[in-house]
Amino acid sequence: MDNIQQIIATHAGREGPLLPILHDVQAEFGHISEEAIRTIAAALNLSRADVHGVVSFYHDFHEAVEPRAVLKLCRAEACQARGVEALAAGLVDNPRVKVEAIYCLGLCSVGPNAMVGDKVHARLDAAKLGALVEQLA
Amino acid sequence: MKVVRISDDALALACGADDVAAAFEAAGCTVERVSSWGMHWLEPLAEIDGKGFGPLAAGDVAAVLSGTSAKAIGAIEDHPFIARQQRFTFARAGKTRPLSLEDYAAHGGWQGLAKAREIGGAATIAQVTESGLRGRGGAGFPAGIKWNTVAGAVADQKYIVCNADEGDSATFADRMVMEGDPFMLIEGMAIAALAVGALHGYVYIRSEYPHAIAKMEAAVRASAHLVAPFVLEVRVGAGAYVCGEETSLLNSLEGKRGEVRAKPPLPALEGLFGKPTVVNNVLTLAAVPWIMANGAAAYAAVGFGRSKGTMPIQIAGNVKHGGLFEVGFGVTLGELVMTVGGGTASGRPVRAVQVGGPLGAYHPPADFHLPFDYEAFAEAEGLIGHAGITVFDDSADMSAQARFAMNFCAVESCGKCTPCRIGSTRGVELIDRIRARSGRSADKVEALLQMHNARKAERSLGDEIALLEDLCETMKFGSLCALGGFTPYPVLSALRHWPEDFGAPAEREAAV
């Protein structure tokens, strides 16, 4: 748990350090474990329930590692208007890729859009989306 | 050597701008990465000596350089989409390199802050008040009054918080400011800090905007010496839509669950860590440098009714010419959708236009005469919100859109208040039954003798619709914040304007 202690130390002295710490832990380990919650709670003088409450509130924090590659497909209104629902319905299930719904990437005039890691993709059609999934698998 | 300017904002990148830039470089050009002009259907857009070419792919580069490209659009400044606008906040869009302090200063940057430093805090607040600037996040609360409240509060510490949790679908103006002109936002925050006497500020950016986060962090570092003693920090959200609500955002900044707080106390008096706090949207703060540099009167001279100045309107969804269109309030919805936007991208007739994001009403083409103005939209039982417009063609199923709105509320509800937490889930069930025409009879528990008040009779479609209207009423007036309170807007507007999507008209009338 040395790494978690290091992460906590990096944010020591900041106001409201919990979210920045959780972001770093999520990025470093791919999830926020029970053990990590204990360590963070002890370091910030919070109860485990407090930290667990925060972890479970936000969509970005996960208590278990996601083994599959993740593709975030925007399902919000602007992408709906540009046909994302038909795309999503036609998508062939790939056991190695998780297609997750996300609500808005802010590229609403050129949808349907998706994000993989920090990379964004616009103007998707069935072929382009299929190719993205293939690449990830 | 030819200088080619290509945007490096997230939208251009998503459309393949990097490949186009690399192709120009390979052809021996110097590529400058600038902010986006906001003509999104033309991205990736390349600018060479003021002339535009787009939308480009790497394979188009040779034709562009030899002057034979069919994608030439002529002088960008003269393009009708740009020429029609009044760009105050987006005056530098397309013209500057986002992280160049040199470019920013050369295009009028820091003049507003210099002016504020010259005239002092009280006079600065007076300017902002006189300009008539209203909160661009959606509520439309006068910025000057909020600042005045914070300035008048006595405390050892005050904060400036910029709400950059732009989660509404069809909105991207905040993203474009942060990715295209981050110093403008920093300048606006520094002016606010000076006006109210705050030394610390936070920009709370949603995690779905990694490019904006990176640019803002770099810009904050690069400009720290220019805004000192004001200290600014970027904080990243964690995927909760409700954190765009100001009190929930403050809780999130404090490291708590993003639950909404009851008001009062107002954040202006007891905000972040209990201290007086200015919470303003990106566009509100970004409008301030222009107001300070050009004077309140120049800003207030533009606009409509009580909505002063310009609004960066975001045209999105199924529209031919989508993008950022900044113009004085008062432009009609029809002009925006048909003249500026060019109608639907699919070429089919417009069926509905949602204004104001997921919590905004759906408007039929019959509402196209509405002027873009806070009050006019409120009167038409809608809202302008953060000024995002989503166009739908006639393939849209409006009861499905109503269900989506309820479901979105159920997914994103913070859980603090009952009308939103439970009402949204009941709303989804109810709309599902209406769509399936399944009706509903008393369940096992309701059928029990002890359940005196439970309805025993079967519900007709008309009963179900009346129940949905009743539920919306409860959510609208009983919810703590705009998430539960405004979800009825899309639901009721869909029901009101497209009753045929909620059961055949004859069937419905007979039932009612």
Domain parsing of chain B, residue ranges: 3-83, 101-300, 303-393, 398-511
What is the model's pLDDT at position A2?
65
Contacts of A106 in chain B (CB under 8 A): 10-11, 166, 171-172, 174-175, 208-209
User: Which CATH class for the B101-300 domain?
Assistant: alpha beta
Model confidence pLDDT, tens digit, residues A22-52: 999 999 999 999 999 999 999 999 999 999 9
Q: Which amino acid is at B174?
A: D
Which of B172, B241, B393 minimises the CB distance to A106? B172
Contacts of B336 in chain A (CB under 8 A): none
Q: Which amino acid is at A7?
A: I
Q: Within 10 A of A88 (CB to CB), how many other CB atoms are there?
A: 16
Q: Are strands B30-34 and B46-48 parallel, antiparallel or unpaired?
A: unpaired
**Chain A stretch 55-114, residues whose beta carbon is closer than 8 A to a beta carbon of chain B:** 57-61, 76-82, 102-111, 113
What is the model's pLDDT at position A32?
97
Which of A54, A61, A115 minimises the CB distance to B256? A54
What backbone torsions phi and psi does residue B381 show, to the nearest 5 degrees?
A: 55, 45
Q: Say how far apart CA B2 and CA B50 lie, in whole Å.
A: 12
What is the model's pLDDT at position B339?
97
A19 to chain B: nearest residue by CA? B255
What number of CA atoms fall less than 13 Å from residue B4's CA on the CB side? 25
Cβ distance B169 to A115 less than 8 Å, yes or no, reads no
What is the model's pLDDT at position B510?
46
Q: Which amino acid is at B188?
A: G
Q: Say how far apart CA B13 and CA B7 lie, in whole Å.
A: 8
- State whether residue B419 is helix, strand or coil: helix
Candidates B386, B325, B380, B318; CA nearest to B350 is: B318
Task: Lowest mean pLDDT of A91-100, A119-128, B211-220, name the range.
Answer: A91-100
- State whether residue A115 is helix, strand or coil: strand
**Chain B stretch 308-327, residues whose beta carbon is closer than 8 A to a beta carbon of chain A:** 314-319, 322-323
Which of B167, B233, B238 minimises the CB distance to A104? B167
Q: Within 10 A of B402 (CB to CB), how many other CB atoms are there?
A: 29
pLDDT at position A1 over 90? no
What is the model's pLDDT at position B1?
76
Cβ distance A122 to B238 less than 8 Å, yes or no, reads no
Kindly tell me the burial class for residue B507, based on how many C-beta atoms sit within 10 Å of its own C-beta (0-12, 13-18, 19 or more).
middle
Cβ distance B208 to A82 less than 8 Å, yes or no, reads no
Which of A16, A57, A106 minimises the CB distance to B257? A57
B41 to chain A: nearest residue by CA? A110
Helices (H), A30-123: 34-44, 48-57, 77-81, 84-90
How many contacts, defined by CB atoms under 8 Å, are there between A and B?
152
Contacts of A107 in chain B (CB under 8 A): 10-11, 14, 172
Contacts of A132 in chain B (CB under 8 A): none
Domains with residue ranges and CATH for chain A: 2-57 (no CATH), 69-136 (3.40.30.10)
Cβ distance B238 to A22 less than 8 Å, yes or no, reads yes
What is the model's pLDDT at position B94?
97
Cβ distance B14 to A121 less than 8 Å, yes or no, reads yes
Question: Which of A40, A46, A108, A116 has the highest number of chain B CBs within 10 A, making it the mutation to test binding with B?
Answer: A108
Q: Say how far apart CA B198 and CA B73 lie, in whole Å.
A: 47
Cβ distance A122 to B208 less than 8 Å, yes or no, reads no
pTM: 0.95
What number of CA atoms fall less than 13 Å from residue B389's CA on the CB side? 33
CATH architecture of the domain with residue range B398-511:
Up-down Bundle (1.20)
Contacts of A61 in chain B (CB under 8 A): 238
CB environment B175-191: b (16+ within 10 A), e (fewer): bbbbbbbbbbbbbbbbb
What is the model's pLDDT at position B509?
46
User: What are the DSSP E strand ranges found in B86-199?
Assistant: 159-164
What is the model's pLDDT at position B503?
83
Which of B239, B396, B412 minimises the CB distance to A60? B239
**Chain B stretch 238-297, residues whose beta carbon is closer than 8 A to a beta carbon of chain A:** 238-241, 252-259, 273
Q: Within 10 A of B254 (CB to CB), how many other CB atoms are there?
A: 15
**Chain B stretch 168-197, residues whose beta carbon is closer than 8 A to a beta carbon of chain A:** 168-172, 174-175
Which of A20, A23, A77 minimises the CB distance to B169? A77
Beta bridge partners of B3: B30
**Dihedral in degrees, nearest 10, Cα atoms A25, A27, A29, A33:** 50
Which of B15, B172, B252 minimises the CB distance to A108? B172
The two tokens of residue B335 are: 């002009």
Kindly tell me the burial class for residue B19, based on how many C-beta atoms sit within 10 Å of its own C-beta (0-12, 13-18, 19 or more).
middle
Cβ distance B255 to A54 less than 8 Å, yes or no, reads yes
**If one looks up domain B3-83 in CATH, what number appears?**
3.40.30.10
Q: How far is B230 from chain A (nearest CA, A)?
A: 16
ipTM for the assembly: 0.97
What is the model's pLDDT at position B506?
44
**If one looks up domain B303-393 in CATH, what number appears?**
3.10.20.600
Written as tens digits, the pLDDT of chain B (512 aa) is 799 999 999 999 999 999 999 999 999 999 999 999 999 999 999 999 999 999 999 999 999 999 999 999 999 999 999 999 999 999 999 999 999 999 999 999 999 999 999 999 999 999 999 999 999 998 899 999 999 999 999 999 999 999 999 999 999 999 999 999 999 999 999 999 999 999 999 999 999 999 999 999 999 999 999 999 999 999 999 999 999 999 999 999 999 999 999 999 999 999 999 999 999 999 999 999 999 999 999 999 999 999 999 999 999 999 999 999 999 999 999 999 999 999 999 999 999 999 999 999 999 999 999 999 999 999 999 999 999 999 999 999 999 999 999 999 999 999 999 999 999 999 999 999 999 988 888 889 989 999 998 888 888 899 999 999 999 999 999 999 999 999 999 999 999 999 999 985 544 444 44
CA angle B7, B10, B14 (to 5 degrees): 95
Q: How far is B240 from chain A (nearest CA, A)?
A: 6
